[in-house]
A and B are shown apart, each in its own frame.
Chain A
């Protein structure tokens, strides 16, 4: 019977978490080569960009790497790249062929790095439509257009896609977190009927929209997923322990030591592109949440 009336009066404070800048010293990490390059089945100039990793609090653009020898080979032909500006290397106007495996070879500071990537086949896009969600009951005027894809997904399993969107010739999906990407687990061999593959904010009627569909590899799909896991999708204490994304570039002749391999990815992809203009709103398709 003791202590039934225990606390009569307490000061009740509203507990809120507070944030302040945290000043810490982090070790200087080992400086690694960073590669960002691709080749596609389009007849055009293809780019490989070389840079270096930096300390976490370096707070300046990544230092570029000049003076490297870079070539891309499909097993029969080899294409050399020329450095057009600091760290940016370009091919002549060439086109890759789906079904071939491309090998990127980089020689920088006397060390040879290599990467291989298979070029998948990209199915053609039949048409695109534009969709909207009706948010008027929440008093929200939504002027975004959702891009709806109509295309046949091939019956072969393990296809992976990503979609880029241009509005009036300007790339809208210019950072990796804005790009829609998907595997074909749920759509394998089916017709993709008005499938949502991206959206554009504040569109106007008669804007020109170009949708690019890229057939990518499983390794690149996993790589994007891992990049987003440590950036935009990072859930802090509610997520798993952080880790470093696995690129596909290796240093050869280092006896299998992974810790000094370059970061980044060399991607071979095939592409299909379609362009349409935004029609009047009554021709848009109303989308349902479920």
Chain B
């Protein structure tokens, strides 16, 4: 792909009216293979999908003009979905998703300048965020089927992020405020385990 864009070093993104001046233009490549299996009949249904992918960029002004992984490069993505009917009224289903961490630029070294610790960064997108994975579970109880009954309802209990995985939203590297010789990394995550109860009506 030609004419792909990415941010230059020290791009100024906040309240910048001339945003386009922060881009640099170059070439990009992407490759992908997908696999998919599905079972549609019987009490147990579901699918498994797997994607193998690679995305790269080469922009003269970025990363000394060397090829680097683009910010949305996810080598492996897996998704498993299963649903099981327990008799006529009960249904249980579960999902598990997995995705490799996307590339980011982390500091590998540090030095001191003007009484501050300055990070030395790796090449552009030289590291990856931690892998993302999560399991969701859902149990549904359907209302009793009666002839001539117009209002139907079902009750659903579901749990998002069942095993409370702390998936990283961002990772901060900073100088410790109490001890300025210490540099540390902190992971910020957004969604912990979230149970929910839903009562659906159909008419």
Contact assessment for B194 and A241 in the assembled complex, using a CB-CB cutoff below 8 Å: no
The DSSP consensus for interface residues of chain A is loop
Contact A175/B114 with A26-B106, A54-B109, A60-B181 known, Cβ cut-off 8 Å: yes
Nearest-Cβ distance from residue B56 to partner chain A, whole angstroms? 16
Q: How far is the CA of A52 from the CA of B127 in the complex (A)?
A: 24
Query: Which positions 1-39 of chain B face chain A at CB distance < 8 Å?
Result: 6-14, 22
Contact assessment for B14 and A235 in the assembled complex, using a CB-CB cutoff below 8 Å: yes
Contact A243/B190 with A7-B198, A11-B195, A34-B113 known, Cβ cut-off 8 Å: no
Contact A18/B166 with A241-B7, A242-B121 known, Cβ cut-off 8 Å: yes
Q: How large is the interface on A (under 10, 10 to 19, 20 to 34, 35 or more residues)?
A: 35 or more
A230 at the interface (CB under 8 A from B): yes
Q: How far is the CA of A53 from the CA of B121 in the complex (A)?
A: 12
Nearest-Cβ distance from residue B136 to partner chain A, whole angstroms? 15
Contact assessment for B198 and A10 in the assembled complex, using a CB-CB cutoff below 8 Å: yes
Contact A17/B190 with A22-B171, A240-B12 known, Cβ cut-off 8 Å: yes
Report A-chain residues with C-beta under 8 Å of the C-beta of B112: 34, 36, 51, 61-62
Report B-chain residues with C-beta under 8 Å of the C-beta of A15: 190-191
Contact A240/B11 with A3-B202, A56-B109, A62-B111 known, Cβ cut-off 8 Å: yes
B53 at the interface (CB under 8 A from A): no
Number of chain B residues whose Cβ lies closer than 8 Å to a Cβ of chain A: 62
Contact assessment for A264 and B124 in the assembled complex, using a CB-CB cutoff below 8 Å: no
Question: B127 — nearest CB in chain A belongs to which residue?
Answer: A26
Q: How many A-B residue pairs have CB under 8 A?
A: 184
Question: B171 — nearest CB in chain A belongs to which residue?
Answer: A22
A155 at the interface (CB under 8 A from B): no
Contact assessment for A174 and B111 in the assembled complex, using a CB-CB cutoff below 8 Å: no
| Most chain A beta carbons < 10 A, residue from B12, B110, B183 | B110
B120 at the interface (CB under 8 A from A): yes
Contact assessment for B171 and A239 in the assembled complex, using a CB-CB cutoff below 8 Å: no
| Most chain B beta carbons < 10 A, residue from A32, A62, A174 | A62
Contact assessment for B119 and A242 in the assembled complex, using a CB-CB cutoff below 8 Å: yes
Contact assessment for B190 and A230 in the assembled complex, using a CB-CB cutoff below 8 Å: no
B192 at the interface (CB under 8 A from A): yes
B184 at the interface (CB under 8 A from A): yes
Contact assessment for A243 and B10 in the assembled complex, using a CB-CB cutoff below 8 Å: yes
Contact A13/B108 with A18-B189, A61-B181, A175-B115 known, Cβ cut-off 8 Å: no
Q: Which of B124, B169, B201 contacts A5 (CB 8 A)?
A: B201
Contact assessment for A231 and B118 in the assembled complex, using a CB-CB cutoff below 8 Å: yes
Closest 10 CB pairs of A and B: A240-B11, A176-B114, A243-B9, A29-B109, A22-B187, A29-B108, A175-B115, A53-B111, A22-B185, A34-B111
16 more contacts with CB within 8 A, not counting A238-B13, A264-B113, are A9-B199, A18-B166, A21-B187, A22-B185, A24-B185, A27-B108, A29-B122, A53-B110, A54-B109, A57-B184, A59-B181, A60-B181, A175-B116, A229-B10, A230-B118, A259-B64
